[in-house]
Chain A
Amino acid sequence: MDIKSYKDVFVFAEQREGVVQPVVFELIGKARDLANSLGEKVVAILPGYNISDKAKDLIEYGADKVIYIDTPELKDYLTEQYAQTIYQVIKEFNPSIVLFGATTIGRDLGPRLSARLETGLTADCTKLDISEEKNLLMTRPAFGGNLMATILCKDHRPQMSTVRPGVMKKRSREVGRNGEVIKYVPQFDAAQFKVKIIETVTEKKKLIDIADAKILVSGGRGVGTREGFEKLKELAKVLNAEVSASRAMVDAGVLGHERQVGQTGKTVRPDLYFALGISGAIQHLAGMEESDFIVAINKDKYAPIFHVADLGIVGDVNKIIPLLTERLVKEEK
């Protein structure tokens, strides 16, 4: 089939327990941009059980069309059931692009599908654009995040990408927006359904290892007290981050040793590190200077922390942090 006859940007609308995942709306937002560049449509594929009422949300967030599949086999995600379904939809509608969230489901389904379709899949994309030749430019990190690569899938269709949650922006909701909603009925080969779900368990994650956190809100002497740290915890909550501390605060009993950053504590390399009221002694720097982006707030403009900070603010942590939290909460709304 001629490459040019593949059209439209499809988004896999991943749902769990009937709830469409947040990443899907982010993907629709991006798909909208891509479709606009191509002069094409945004189509959501929504597999599940008793799921058709969710189609409206997808349209209000930017989808032009929703293809939903409603059968008991699709109530909970299983590789083969979903792969057969999406494969059949893709073969019937011939999209140019298909986007998935890079979730445990997306990263299980995406590659299985790409092999079945014998097409290209690019994982964990952080940036998607349309090239001059109208191909999808997929940019992603490699080498543990040390390298960025832009990938092209020129001669195969659909071009498939999984995209990290929290990277693309969802559009604002257009209440009452109209779109097409179609029901699709797949033909299952049940003999291939070889995996059974025995149990699904929701578990609060055990004590987080600060070394695994993507964002750390870290406090030192400049924060000083437990009350001060409560403010940091509020900021961390809004940012979905973890709290950590310098040795001085751990010694003072404000936080446990498992949250200590530094030479005698842990070495961390988060995407974002807030060094709040931390002077930047060599023992502390040794534990965090490899962080991707460092924001430091300290009263002392000569504090050594400012030598490694990407963004430094000379000021009072205890004044700035509550204000920051307040503003962020407002932004969320």
Chain B
Amino acid sequence: MMKIVVCIKQVPDTNEIKINQVTGTLIREGVPSIMNPDDKGGLEMALSLKDKYNAHVTVITMGPPQADSILREALALGADRAILLTDRKFAGADTLATSHALAGALKRLEWDLILTGRQAIDGDTAQVGPQIAEHLSIPQVTYAEDLTYDGNRVFTVRKQSEEGYQILEVESPALITVLATANKPRYMSVKGIVEAFNKEVEIWGADKIEIDEEKLGLKGSPTKVYKAFTKGLRAAGQLYEVESEEAVGIIISKLKEKFIV
């Protein structure tokens, strides 16, 4: 039976984030937490393979205790096993430290295929998937729009590129990062939801994974945030009543300022 592990992340719905008009800072309260859209694409891909080839699907997330809710969602969608990777030792991790923790957990699992989303809508880095593949010494294919399986060991991936796409072939074990646009994720079924909270979500800490603890958390993070700032409030607009030539000049200097020209 093919075994698939899907890495998913709980993220704030960044489309709903607003900027406080008075302080210019982000308003984070009341912003709903969702399963990252690219990860949803990965999970749907895994579930489609399960439908077709009777695969076993495990979902894993590294996060705080409240990340349990996206694991329940995954179970309601049809995942067979759910693991919450959570430990204070993971705190402050950049992408490298995060990928080490996840790889450490994956080393304790059996799989033919690992699926991750291409990138998360809060970090937007697209780094963790390929870094995990490197730690596990398996081949990667990123930006997957479509995936087919020959039923034996070979995955054929349609990979998105700026000019169009490529068709690539890779043999399992492999890691593939998936785009949200690859498919239309199914909805949770009512029955799936009712049963989701009766199933077990395994909780794994740093002691349960195969890892050198120096590589975890803030300690294991080569990159650190020096400062964070919002782009600021929308300044009042400037209005000009001038001749066409001058107007064009003003517009062009603005475009240059914004590196559009």
When C-beta atoms are compared, the residue in chain A nearest to B139 turns out to be: A194
Is A313 part of the contact surface with B, judged by Cβ < 8 Å?
yes
B73-81, B189-197, B199-207, B234-242: which lies at the interface? B234-242
Q: Does B30 sit at the interface, judged by CB under 8 A? A: no
Is A304 part of the binding interface, using a Cβ–Cβ cutoff of 8 Å? no
- The interface residues of chain B lying within 8 Å CB-to-CB of A324 are 248, 251-252
Q: What is the minimal beta-carbon distance from B121 to any residue of chain A, in angstroms?
A: 5
Main secondary structure of the interface of B (DSSP, over half): mixed
Alpha-carbon gap, A232 to B97, bound state (A): 48
Contact indicator B241/A148 (Cβ below 8 Å): no
Q: How far is the CA of A5 from the CA of B17 in the complex (A)?
A: 43
A74 and B250 alpha carbons, distance in the complex (Å): 46
Pairwise interchain contact B225-A167, C-beta atoms closer than 8 A: no
Nearest chain-B residue to A168 (Cβ)? B259
A316 vs B140: C-alpha distance when bound (angstroms): 54
The A155-200 residues at the B interface (CB cut-off 8 A) are: 155-156, 166-167, 169, 192, 194-200
B222 and A309: CB pair below 8 A?
no
Docked CA distance A154–B226 (Å): 10
Say yes or no: A313 contacts B240, CB within 8 Å: yes
Q: Is B184 an interface residue (CB 8 A)?
A: no
Q: Which of B128, B170, B252, B259 contacts A196 (CB 8 A)?
A: B170
Task: Please report the total number of B residues contacting A with Cβ < 8 Å.
Answer: 80
Question: Does B110 interact with chain A (Cβ within 8 Å)?
Answer: no
Contact status A123-B127, CB under 8 Å: yes
Bound-complex Cα distance A213 to B260 (A) = 14
Tell me which of B96, B122, B231, B247 contacts A313 (CB under 8 A): B247
Q: With A115-B134, A123-B124, A195-B139 as given contacts, are A311 and B237 in contact (CB-CB < 8 Å)?
A: yes
- Contact A142–B142 (Cβ < 8 Å): no
CB-CB under 8 A from A140, the residues of chain B are 124
What 0/1 readout, one digit per residue, does chain A (132-157) give for beta carbons within 8 Å of chain B?
A: 00000100111111111111111110
In contact, A123 and B125 (Cβ under 8 angstroms): yes
Complex Cα spacing A195 to B240, Å: 57
Q: Is the interface of A mostly helix, strand, loop or mixed?
A: mixed
Tell me, yes or no, whether A281 is within 8 Å of chain B by CB.
no
Inter-chain CA distance A125–B177, complex, in Å, is 21
Given contacts A195-B170, A272-B258, contact A151 B124 (CB under 8 A): no
Question: For residue A310, which residues in chain B have a CB less than 8 angstroms away from its CB?
Answer: 234-235, 237-238
CA distance A193 to B247 in the complex (A): 56
Cβ-defined contact, B224 with A152, below 8 A = yes
Contact count band on A: 35 or more
- Chain A residues with Cβ below 8 Å from B160 are 104
Known: A143-B122, A146-B14, A328-B252. A115 touches B223 (CB 8 A): no
Q: Is the CB of B237 within 8 A of A194?
A: no
Whether B17 and A196, one on each chain, are in contact in the complex, defined by CB atoms closer than 8 angstroms, is: no
Give the contact stretch, choosing among A90-98, A254-262, A293-301: A293-301
Complex Cα–Cα for A123 and B254 (A): 26
A151 contacts B224, C-beta separation under 8 Å:
yes
Whether A143 touches B260, Cβ cut-off 8 Å, given contacts A112-B140, A115-B96, is no
Residues of A near B134 (CB, < 8 A) are: 111-112, 115-116
**Which residue from chain A places its CB closest to the CB of B16 in the assembled complex?**
A144
Say yes or no: B162 contacts A104, CB within 8 Å.
Answer: yes
Q: Confirm or deny: A268 has a beta carbon within 8 angstroms of a beta carbon on chain B.
A: no
Q: Which of A103, A152, A308 contacts B223 (CB 8 A)?
A: A152
Additional 13 contacts, C-beta under 8 A, given A112-B134, A114-B96, A314-B239: A80-B139, A118-B222, A121-B127, A123-B125, A141-B124, A143-B14, A143-B26, A143-B121, A143-B124, A166-B259, A306-B237, A312-B237, A315-B244
Some 5 contacts from A to B, beta carbons below 8 A apart, are A16-B163, A148-B229, A323-B248, A328-B261, A331-B252
